[in-house]
Amino acid sequence: MLEENAQQIAEQWLTHAAESAGQKDLQSHMGMISKRISVQGVPGFDSIDYDVWYKQCRHQFENSMIKSIAYKGFNFISATETQIVFTVFETVIGADGTLNEQIVEKSLEKEGDDVWRLVLERVLIENDAMRNHELSK
Protein backbone atom coordinates (compact mmCIF):
# COMPACT_ATOMS: atom_id res chain seq x y z
CA MET A 1 0.00 0.00 0.00
CA LEU A 2 1.27 3.45 -0.85
CA GLU A 3 2.07 5.74 2.07
CA GLU A 4 -0.35 8.38 0.72
CA ASN A 5 -3.25 5.88 0.64
CA ALA A 6 -2.42 4.64 4.14
CA GLN A 7 -2.28 8.19 5.47
CA GLN A 8 -5.64 9.03 3.87
CA ILE A 9 -7.29 5.94 5.41
CA ALA A 10 -5.77 6.72 8.83
CA GLU A 11 -6.76 10.39 8.71
CA GLN A 12 -10.33 9.46 7.72
CA TRP A 13 -10.40 7.02 10.64
CA LEU A 14 -9.18 9.76 13.04
CA THR A 15 -11.80 12.22 11.75
CA HIS A 16 -14.59 9.67 12.17
CA ALA A 17 -13.34 8.71 15.66
CA ALA A 18 -13.33 12.35 16.80
CA GLU A 19 -16.74 13.06 15.21
CA SER A 20 -18.42 9.95 16.65
CA ALA A 21 -17.10 10.81 20.13
CA GLY A 22 -18.20 14.43 19.74
CA GLN A 23 -21.69 13.28 18.73
CA LYS A 24 -21.73 10.73 21.60
CA ASP A 25 -22.53 8.03 19.03
CA LEU A 26 -21.44 4.95 20.98
CA GLN A 27 -22.43 2.42 18.31
CA SER A 28 -20.57 4.23 15.54
CA HIS A 29 -17.54 4.89 17.74
CA MET A 30 -17.23 1.29 18.96
CA GLY A 31 -17.70 0.04 15.39
CA MET A 32 -14.26 1.53 14.73
CA ILE A 33 -12.64 -0.46 17.53
CA SER A 34 -11.59 -4.08 17.06
CA LYS A 35 -12.85 -6.67 19.54
CA ARG A 36 -9.11 -7.51 19.82
CA ILE A 37 -8.15 -3.98 20.93
CA SER A 38 -5.27 -3.57 23.35
CA VAL A 39 -4.46 -0.17 24.80
CA GLN A 40 -1.12 0.11 26.56
CA GLY A 41 0.67 2.82 28.47
CA VAL A 42 -2.33 4.27 30.30
CA PRO A 43 -1.33 5.05 33.90
CA GLY A 44 -3.08 2.72 36.34
CA PHE A 45 -3.86 0.02 33.73
CA ASP A 46 -1.75 -2.87 32.47
CA SER A 47 -3.85 -3.04 29.33
CA ILE A 48 -7.33 -1.90 28.29
CA ASP A 49 -9.45 -4.32 26.27
CA TYR A 50 -12.67 -3.89 24.29
CA ASP A 51 -15.02 -4.33 27.26
CA VAL A 52 -13.21 -1.73 29.36
CA TRP A 53 -13.08 0.71 26.41
CA TYR A 54 -16.81 0.20 25.76
CA LYS A 55 -17.77 0.80 29.41
CA GLN A 56 -15.55 3.89 29.61
CA CYS A 57 -16.98 5.38 26.39
CA ARG A 58 -20.57 4.60 27.41
CA HIS A 59 -20.03 6.33 30.76
CA GLN A 60 -18.32 9.35 29.15
CA PHE A 61 -20.92 9.71 26.38
CA GLU A 62 -23.96 9.25 28.64
CA ASN A 63 -22.58 11.85 31.07
CA SER A 64 -21.40 14.27 28.35
CA MET A 65 -17.89 14.26 29.78
CA ILE A 66 -16.00 14.93 26.52
CA LYS A 67 -16.19 18.33 24.87
CA SER A 68 -13.91 17.47 21.96
CA ILE A 69 -11.18 15.21 20.62
CA ALA A 70 -8.67 16.44 18.06
CA TYR A 71 -5.65 14.98 16.30
CA LYS A 72 -2.63 16.67 14.73
CA GLY A 73 0.93 15.84 13.79
CA PHE A 74 0.25 12.63 11.87
CA ASN A 75 3.44 10.58 11.43
CA PHE A 76 3.35 7.53 9.19
CA ILE A 77 5.34 4.52 10.44
CA SER A 78 4.41 1.58 8.21
CA ALA A 79 1.65 -0.02 6.18
CA THR A 80 0.71 -3.27 4.48
CA GLU A 81 -2.49 -4.09 2.62
CA THR A 82 -4.19 -4.90 5.94
CA GLN A 83 -2.38 -2.82 8.58
CA ILE A 84 -1.43 0.83 9.10
CA VAL A 85 0.78 2.01 11.96
CA PHE A 86 1.25 5.69 12.81
CA THR A 87 1.72 8.15 15.64
CA VAL A 88 -0.41 11.20 16.25
CA PHE A 89 -0.79 13.95 18.85
CA GLU A 90 -4.17 13.52 20.58
CA THR A 91 -5.97 16.28 22.48
CA VAL A 92 -9.03 15.50 24.58
CA ILE A 93 -10.91 18.39 26.19
CA GLY A 94 -13.29 17.42 28.95
CA ALA A 95 -16.63 19.12 29.55
CA ASP A 96 -15.19 20.22 32.91
CA GLY A 97 -12.32 22.03 31.13
CA THR A 98 -9.66 19.38 31.72
CA LEU A 99 -7.11 18.96 28.96
CA ASN A 100 -5.38 15.66 28.16
CA GLU A 101 -2.66 15.77 25.51
CA GLN A 102 -0.53 12.80 24.52
CA ILE A 103 1.29 11.22 21.65
CA VAL A 104 -0.18 7.84 20.76
CA GLU A 105 0.88 5.10 18.41
CA LYS A 106 -2.11 3.54 16.69
CA SER A 107 -2.36 0.39 14.62
CA LEU A 108 -5.35 0.02 12.33
CA GLU A 109 -6.16 -3.32 10.78
CA LYS A 110 -8.49 -4.12 7.90
CA GLU A 111 -10.66 -6.86 9.38
CA GLY A 112 -12.56 -9.64 7.62
CA ASP A 113 -15.54 -7.38 6.86
CA ASP A 114 -13.22 -4.86 5.07
CA VAL A 115 -13.58 -2.28 7.87
CA TRP A 116 -10.46 -0.58 9.23
CA ARG A 117 -10.49 -0.86 13.02
CA LEU A 118 -8.11 0.10 15.81
CA VAL A 119 -6.36 -3.02 17.15
CA LEU A 120 -3.54 -1.46 19.16
CA GLU A 121 -3.04 1.90 20.83
CA ARG A 122 0.03 2.73 22.81
CA VAL A 123 0.43 5.91 24.84
CA LEU A 124 4.05 6.88 24.33
CA ILE A 125 6.27 8.31 27.01
CA GLU A 126 8.11 11.41 25.89
CA ASN A 127 11.43 9.74 25.00
CA ASP A 128 9.75 6.93 23.03
CA ALA A 129 7.55 9.46 21.22
CA MET A 130 10.51 11.58 20.25
CA ARG A 131 12.42 8.55 18.98
CA ASN A 132 9.44 7.24 16.98
CA HIS A 133 8.90 10.61 15.35
CA GLU A 134 12.57 10.86 14.40
CA LEU A 135 12.56 7.35 12.93
CA SER A 136 9.47 7.99 10.83
CA LYS A 137 11.00 10.93 8.93
- Domains in the chain, CATH or no CATH each: 3-135 (3.10.450.50)
DSSP 3-state assignment of 120? strand
CA 125 to chain centre: 16
Contact between residue 106 and residue 118 where contact means Cβ atoms under 8 Å apart: yes
One digit per residue, the tens of pLDDT, for the chain of length 137 reads 788 899 999 999 999 999 999 999 999 999 999 999 999 988 777 889 999 999 999 999 999 999 999 999 999 999 999 999 999 999 999 999 899 889 999 999 999 999 999 999 999 865 544 444 444 44
What's the pTM? 0.86
DSSP 3-state assignment of 39? strand
Those residues with Cβ within 8 angstroms of residue 39's Cβ, 6 or more apart along the chain or in another chain: 45, 47, 48, 49, 53, 120, 121, 122, 123
